[in-house]
Structure 1
Amino acid sequence: MARTGSGALLLSRPNIKLDSFLKRNTERTVYERIRAHEPCVVLSETINKAYMHVILSDERVYLTEYPPRTLTEALSFRCVRDIELVNDLPDFLHGKNRELCQHIRISYVTDKPAVRGHDWLRRDRKAGLPPAAPPSRRTSQCPTITHTLEGYPAQRSPSELPTLPPTRSASCPDPETLGLIRVPPPPTRPPSTEPPRTSSPISPLSPSSHRLNFPDAGQVPRGIGSVLSRLLRRDSSSSGEEREAELHLYAVSDTSRLYLHLQSSWNSFIIRSTLSLDPLYRRRCSGSSDSCPGKRPPAISWERTAHLFGQLSCELLQEGISVESLYLLLQELRTAAHRDITLRRLFWRSSELFVFLVQTLEESLHGCQSLSGVCTADQLLLSTLIVQTLAVMFRETEVEPARLDLLSAKKGALASRMLLALMCDAELQTQNQRSLVDCEVSCSPLTLMLLISSVANVAAVLLCQRQALLAEYLDAACSLLFELLLLGHDASRSSSADNFLSIGWILGVLQPHPQMLSFIGYQVQQVVLVLSDLQESCLSPLQSVVLFQRCRLLLACLQYNNQLAQHLRSHFREEFRYSVQLSCAEEKLPPHYPISQPTLQLVGQILTLHLHTNTRADCAFK
């Protein structure tokens, strides 16, 4: 799903009525961040196989009836623990629908008491609901949500509401063909004499509280009496211990992309919410200082954003621009992209700026290596800024069709150039080291000794500075490669023959690069350093995010490329067997970081895959 210049939803098969409903019943800031919606069969502790619309934003999953009447929050990504595809054939579906169904299971943390076998829709009680999973070892703190309902104004009676006739989904068949019962419309009630009530506006999560609550009856518009609002309503007076619950979504379509959107949204959320714990990052994204934490810059229209982006692009693309001006303009572009997703979408509408950034990265990072073999501090700074800007442009823009069109054009020519431009030697010589080697050949021993003594201090300082800049670049390159792997994960599950940018294709482009092994070796060394006893301090939000991204990269190498997997197992076998410890990761990842639990899951997968393979190899050798 993407948006046009006017902000309307643009789907390959649009649902105009649902789009109109969302536009009327959500605030503009929420509507503009809706990433996807799709009709599904929903199964949870309180909903028994109901055909509903699933609406996905960058922070929450919403549900609404089919046809839509009331928008209700199902869960927040803050409380999600896992999103996975289940390989099964639902027994309540038949024929082709059963074979095409994609079963998505979302495990999340809630403090709502378990449902005691009550079937709200009065269907077959013998069918039962999936049992709740046992409580997880690591507890999560979920903030209070003081809203969950966005419906029609309460003062309007049901007879005044617009009639929404049943419509057939663009990607799913009619519910009657699935053997399901539609959620019935609300019964007609006499007008209430009480003062009208208004529903709470959708508001951001509160970081200071730790309970997930749904509204009481007073928050529900009396004129509606919606079945869905009764299904998902929670008693605010009841509280209990946190436990795991599950939400099951059955997308009856072989072209469904809901799972991919869920995974991408969840990854983006845990990264963004973890980084927001860092004051510097929070200030960069919000544009407000710590002295005014609640102050936000006013919203800018799409047209105004497009105008400003066009001006900035023209300045960047002008001929003869100096390195200093280029660096300052790129800083402005990166900061603006952090704050405004509209600008990120506009970035992909034209190829000029993207091509310019890739070409500048090639010249800055690899042009210097071909001439002198080293990069200066200015070149590393510029290369890092370019890579960081590109990584931001990828974030949360997977629903922009122009992005895939641009990257897949000419059989992925631009994507290949960007991937190859990313790679660099993690152990490049410094200019001073190369100068001393040259002098050793051309100078006398006395002259060489004097030269060494005179530049020793300067060389040490420059070496430390360059190592820090190179480490910053390698971190940024890993972050951009992580975004590309998310793109590849999407393509790997896509049924479209045109979408060839899979994880295997990405690693296949990188694997022959002469500096790929040096690059991946550095990433492994950093993971080993963090997950061993060599580093005792807790990780910062930024360090935690980079660790998560590195683990995703290593897992992709182990799973999708045999050559890279063999290299990792043969060169880092002892480190993974004796130095990498899951217990160290648990101690260094603070439990209140949203990214901690997903990172621990990735570490466990890497260790299991790596050690299990090595054990089998040992047995075969013996």
Structure 2
Amino acid sequence: MARTGYGNLYCRRNSKLDSFLKRNTDRAVYERIRAYEPCVVISDTVNKVYMHVVLSDECVYLTEYPPRTLTAAVNLSRVRDIELINDLPDFLSGKDREHSQHIRIIYAAAKPAAKGDDWQGRDKKEGLPPAAPPSHRNHHLTVPPTLEGVGSLFSENNWRISPEPPQRNHTVGGEVEVHMLRPVRSASCPDPETLGLLRLPRPRGHPPSPTPSLHSFVSPLASPSSPLSPLERSPKIHEAGQVYRRRGSVLARLLRRERVNSRERDGEKDGEEREKEAELHLYAVSQMSRIYLHLQSSWSSYIIRSTLLLDPLYRRRCSTSSSSSPRSQLPAISWERTAHLFRQLSAELLQEGLNLESLYLLLQELRTAALRNITLRKLFWRSSEMCVFLVQTLEDSLHGCQSPQGVHTADQLLLSTLTAQTLAVMFRETEVEPARLSLLTAKKGALTARMLLALVCDPELQTHNQGTPVDSELQALLAEYLDAACSLLFELVVLGQEASRCSSVENFLTVGWILRVLQPHPHLLSFIGYQAQQVVLVLSDVQRSALSPLQSVLLFQRCRLLLACLQYSHQLGQHLRSHYREEFRYYVKLSCAEEKLPSHYPISQPALRLVKQLLALILHR
């Protein structure tokens, strides 16, 4: 967690609160805390109380001022919208009232437990625990179970080559499993998913509550391996148990019948009540507050990550396969061990004379390890050599694939795509890392400018033999690169939007600066035009099938990119309106977008709002 101040983007360090969080949270939660800031809080359980708001990658926590307890207020999985309200709160006065920022978080309230289930000991409650009163202290806080397949425990021996045989591990209780596949990385390995990389434990659902029910008084169907006790062999006790079982079954049938009748009477009204929205209001009283930026950034990262985890291939890259072999759980990999492994991998990547195949496999390992370990992403920005190396690789590979005489054009496109994907992963969830901003702003943003100019390319592949099967394959590879380049440019635009809201002179990486750097690029207009064409193609009526998780995330990123072009660049805005206004007018329909974006995707509703804003700006005369 980065809490040291750099410019005005980061929150000031509070040693007392930081020490409290370190003592009262799990290590996995503490390392993923992005920011904290004092605010006046108004919610269903708190009314105008000055508290600390603690923001992690998955949850918003509240603690008193000074801190005594830590309560999970809102999980990002339930957030529907985050708004900045322009008003003057009447309960504040003076400069606090003038400089306050009113942030409203709209989220889905937790579903109430079904009636009649508690007597059977079934735990069907969902959502976050209610806010604890100040008199109760939470001495330990666990990670909220939100994203399946993502955990915080890493095996040291899984990352790199190990001579040990395959191992499979899981806890006896069945709650967490750690799987160790054979760690192999070979240049002749055709399947990138079999590389020996960091493997995450896959959390399992918690077992039912052990509260005894009527069915648990006597068990006549005992296991042959466990003989009955003298108490269970008693005829009277056995007969009483059968009576309890009969009464329990009758009660169970009556309750089930009552629940079915209740559902039929209530119909859809019951479902609407369960998804009732609630609000959390935060009033930041500091003029230099950045809590709204951190909230928006955390929520955006969360919905992207949780949507991508719905894709089986992406989920396999971020987690390991299931296993039932009983093994003890391995401890979490330490920061020092991760740093050592990262230095080892960096040394292999930076060595001279590395052939193209070895470079590709090493970059695959770096990308996959970065997907699974946020510590590695932070270490990446603290090592300027690795970022410079990736930018140089992107420049060289794109220059090679655009050369008509290049004999490895397909290989160069593959390498360019992997390099852009790796750089995009390094940007995720590292907004509050001071080393990232220091590196990107060094020498007036020289490295950032190189990255921007390197990722933009001509969307039309120029070859001598048009119409051949090889050309169609190259076009497919080029389309994959353009998707990766859009994701990387999206991350840079998000960085620029955060800087645009800051008044610091040091942080000049605004969206306007980014577009000014790209303006002289010869292929900028065609590159942005290609991204607009893809939005029209995805949202048109030509193909009525629902979008995949990856396509939904790309649509979200492309809409954010096009909106930035329309809002911050007169040249790009005029180009999009003059060349693509009619396509958006006749082919892009909100009703079609609602059909193509599945409702269970976390990114669907934010993407629909972006499509609506994009249509309004492009069709505006």
The alignment's TM-score, normalised by the length of structure 2, stands at 0.74
**2:390 and 2:138 mapped to 1: Cα distance?**
53
Aligned to 2:44: 45
**1:200 and 1:422 mapped to 2: Cα distance?**
42
Counterpart amino acid of residue 39 in structure 1: P
Per-residue CA distance 1:154-210 (angstroms, 9 max, x = gap): xxxxxxxxxxxxxxxxxxxxxxxxxxxxx9x649xxxxxxxx9997744412779xx
Quick check: 2:381–2:436 contact (8 Å CA) kept in 1?
Answer: yes
Quick check: 2:10–2:432 contact (8 Å CA) kept in 1?
Answer: no
Quick check: 1:419–1:509 contact (8 Å CA) kept in 2?
Answer: yes
Residues 206, 542 of structure 1: alpha-carbon distance in 2 compared, 3 angstrom cutoff: closer
Q: Secondary structure at the match of 2:74?
A: strand
**1:590 and 1:572 mapped to 2: Cα distance?**
26
Residues 418, 515 of structure 1: alpha-carbon distance in 2 compared, 3 angstrom cutoff: same
Q: Cα distance, 1:21 vs. partner?
A: 1.4
For residue 289 of structure 1, the aligned residue among 283, 297, 321 is: 321
Q: Secondary structure at the match of 2:468?
A: helix
Residues 478, 11 of structure 1: alpha-carbon distance in 2 compared, 3 angstrom cutoff: closer
Aligned to 1:412: 445
For residue 555 of structure 1, the aligned residue among 534, 559, 563 is: 563
Hey, which bits of structure 1, 4+ residues long, moved more than 6 A?
196-200, 292-297
Counterpart amino acid of residue 276 in structure 1: L
**1:143 and 1:536 mapped to 2: Cα distance?**
37
Alignment of 1:235-254 (within 5 A): 240-254=273-287
Aligned to 1:517: 525
1:566 aligns with 2:570: no
Aligned to 1:355: 388
For residue 315 of structure 1, the aligned residue among 348, 353, 368 is: 348
Alignment of 1:121-520 (within 5 A): 144-145=126-127, 147=129, 186=135, 201-205=142-146, 240-286=273-319, 288-290=320-322, 298-369=331-402, 372=405, 376-433=409-466, 460-520=468-528
Counterpart amino acid of residue 2 in structure 1: A
Quick check: 1:145–1:206 contact (8 Å CA) kept in 2?
Answer: no
Counterpart amino acid of residue 56 in structure 1: L
Residues 550, 428 of structure 1: alpha-carbon distance in 2 compared, 3 angstrom cutoff: same
Counterpart amino acid of residue 540 in structure 1: S
**1:409 and 1:479 mapped to 2: Cα distance?**
23
Counterpart amino acid of residue 12 in structure 2: R
Q: Cα distance, 1:240 vs. partner?
A: 4.0
**1:11 and 1:573 mapped to 2: Cα distance?**
40
Residues 293, 511 of structure 1: alpha-carbon distance in 2 compared, 3 angstrom cutoff: farther
Residues 523, 375 of structure 1: alpha-carbon distance in 2 compared, 3 angstrom cutoff: farther
Q: Secondary structure at the match of 2:298?
A: helix
Quick check: 1:78–1:594 contact (8 Å CA) kept in 2?
Answer: yes
Residues 543, 44 of structure 1: alpha-carbon distance in 2 compared, 3 angstrom cutoff: same
Q: Cα distance, 1:289 vs. partner?
A: 1.1
**1:198 and 1:304 mapped to 2: Cα distance?**
28
Q: CA RMSD in A?
A: 3.0
Q: Cα distance, 1:350 vs. partner?
A: 1.9
Aligned to 2:598: 590
Quick check: 1:374–1:429 contact (8 Å CA) kept in 2?
Answer: no
Q: Secondary structure at the match of 1:66?
A: coil
**1:489 and 1:374 mapped to 2: Cα distance?**
40
1:578 aligns with 2:586: yes
Per-residue CA distance 1:73-120 (angstroms, 9 max, x = gap): 11111111111211222222111112221111111121479xxxxxxx
Residues 99, 329 of structure 1: alpha-carbon distance in 2 compared, 3 angstrom cutoff: same
Q: Secondary structure at the match of 2:277?
A: strand
**1:424 and 1:294 mapped to 2: Cα distance?**
51
1:538 aligns with 2:571: no
Residues 204, 392 of structure 1: alpha-carbon distance in 2 compared, 3 angstrom cutoff: same
Quick check: 1:285–1:335 contact (8 Å CA) kept in 2?
Answer: yes
Q: Cα distance, 1:297 vs. partner?
A: 7.3
Q: Cα distance, 1:465 vs. partner?
A: 1.1
Aligned to 1:60: 59
Gaps of 5+ in 2: 113-123, 150-210, 212-270
Matched pairs, number: 486
Residues 489, 393 of structure 1: alpha-carbon distance in 2 compared, 3 angstrom cutoff: same
Q: Secondary structure at the match of 1:536?
A: coil
**1:398 and 1:201 mapped to 2: Cα distance?**
24
Counterpart amino acid of residue 553 in structure 1: L
Quick check: 2:147–2:306 contact (8 Å CA) kept in 1?
Answer: no
Residues 329, 143 of structure 1: alpha-carbon distance in 2 compared, 3 angstrom cutoff: farther
Q: Secondary structure at the match of 1:432?
A: coil
Q: Secondary structure at the match of 1:514?
A: coil
Aligned to 1:2: 2
Q: Cα distance, 1:379 vs. partner?
A: 0.4
Residues 282, 89 of structure 1: alpha-carbon distance in 2 compared, 3 angstrom cutoff: same
Q: Secondary structure at the match of 1:557?
A: helix
Counterpart amino acid of residue 606 in structure 2: P
Q: Secondary structure at the match of 2:582?
A: helix
Per-residue CA distance 1:553-601 (angstroms, 9 max, x = gap): 1111111111100000000011111110111110011100000000000
Quick check: 2:402–2:462 contact (8 Å CA) kept in 1?
Answer: no
Q: Secondary structure at the match of 1:106?
A: strand
**1:24 and 1:197 mapped to 2: Cα distance?**
11
Quick check: 1:408–1:415 contact (8 Å CA) kept in 2?
Answer: yes
**2:56 and 2:585 mapped to 1: Cα distance?**
41
Identity of aligned residues (%): 72
